[in-house]
Amino acid sequence: MTTTGGHEPVFCTVVPPHVLDRIAQHQDSSLASAARRTLERDAWERTHRRMTTVVGATAAVTRAAVSDQPNRTVYDAEHGTDLPGTKVRGEGDEPGQDATVNRAYAGLGATFELYLKAYERHSIDGEGLPLDATVHYDKDYNNAFWNGEQMVFGDGDGEIFLDFTLPIDVIGHELTHGVTQYTANLTYFGQPGALNESLSDVFGSLIKQYTLGQTATEADWLIGAGLLAPRVTGVALRSMKAPGTAYDDDVLGKDPQPATMDGFVRTGRDNGGVHINSGIPNHAFYLAATALGGNAWERAGQVWYDVLTGGKLKKDASFSDFATLTVAAAKARYRDGAELQAVLKAWEQVGVRTA
């Protein structure tokens, strides 16, 4: 049985259930069946996490000594569902023939490096937690997830989704759910759930930008670029620059993300629309980062990181609560400079009030 030391793990997938629901209803049976199997597998994993987790117990995870080097292990599920699978690459091992394994290994390292170099954080938990990932999970599995302990990647069905290790921001996104789990532990429902998703998008994008050496102006601000198969009319899963424009496809439908509170979606699905309404705080970060210019992980990213890890962000925080804390964090770190003005204006532009 898994114990968590009070940090309740959340089963988080990068492809929202509303997208898979849409594909599952398609008249093409091969597309629909892969989506249905993915939804069924996600439901099983979600229930399994809930049933095998004891919240508040003493952590039983083996801790690595805090180091400036990651401790990565990549496993191969060989298209099965037993986790973690067969070990295929450990820390320091040379790259093998499997490009998926190599991408997963590199993505774990890129995530570790961004958190260490930009924020002096040692791995996901801040204490050198080993980074484990499983690739080739299940058959035609159209998702990637963080299950509270490790990363898991599907290969996609090849028709709608390609290999989930292709976009480095997907890897960073899912691992950031682990950072949130070990810090603010935001409730995965409604506005706090959308903040949880948004923080993963923010730091997933920053990991991509850091790895590519891109400034805020140079970045594409897309989440999951390169994941959609050529037949899909779309560029990514989400756009932080222009929420609601990532795809418009006869199979996937139209990207439903709002950019401002005027478009806030009230729904009971997807844990209260956590993957939809995350577009609002996503856009606020984009606006703040691009207003400041330079490297987004430095000033804007630092403010968001300060709030996530500062101990004042409550588990049930609303958008307004989070926004207010970013204003306080910007003022505390940068006083009344451009950073504070950029943060204030960004939240104003998306219609979120700050106290």
Total count of residues recorded for the chain? 355
Contact 273, 266 (CB under 8 A): yes
Catalytic residue status for 40? no
CA distances from 352 to 60, 88, 295, 318 (A): 40, 46, 25, 10
- Of 183, 26, 207, 43, the C-alpha closest to 113 is 207
* Pair type for strands 72-76 and 131-135: parallel
Q: Cα 81 from chain centroid?
A: 22
Residue 276 CB: number of other CB atoms within 10 A?
25
Measured in degrees and rounded to the nearest 5, phi and psi for residue 210 equal: -65, -45
Helix (H, G, I), strand (E, B) or coil at 250: coil
Exactly one of 8, 149, 159, 174 is catalytic; name it.
Answer: 174
Question: Do the Cβ atoms of 151 and 105 come closer than 8 Å?
Answer: no
* CA-based nearest residue to 309, from 127, 136, 49, 165: 127
Q: Specify the amino acid at residue 186.
A: L
Task: Tell me the residue type at 283.
Answer: H
Spell out the residues 6+ positions from residue 295 whose beta carbon is closer than 8 angstroms to its own. Answer: 209, 210, 215, 216
Which one is catalytic: 8, 275, 283, 339? 275
In Å, what is the CA distance from 304 to each residue of 132, 161, 274, 276? 26, 30, 18, 20
Q: How far apart are CA 28 and CA 87, in angstroms?
A: 36
Q: How far apart are CA 161 and CA 157, in angstroms?
A: 6
Cis before residue 84, ω within 30 degrees of 0?
yes
Is 174 in the active site? yes
Task: Quote the tokens at residue 82.
Answer: 């037993």
Residue 322 three-state SS? helix
Residues marked as catalytic = 174, 275
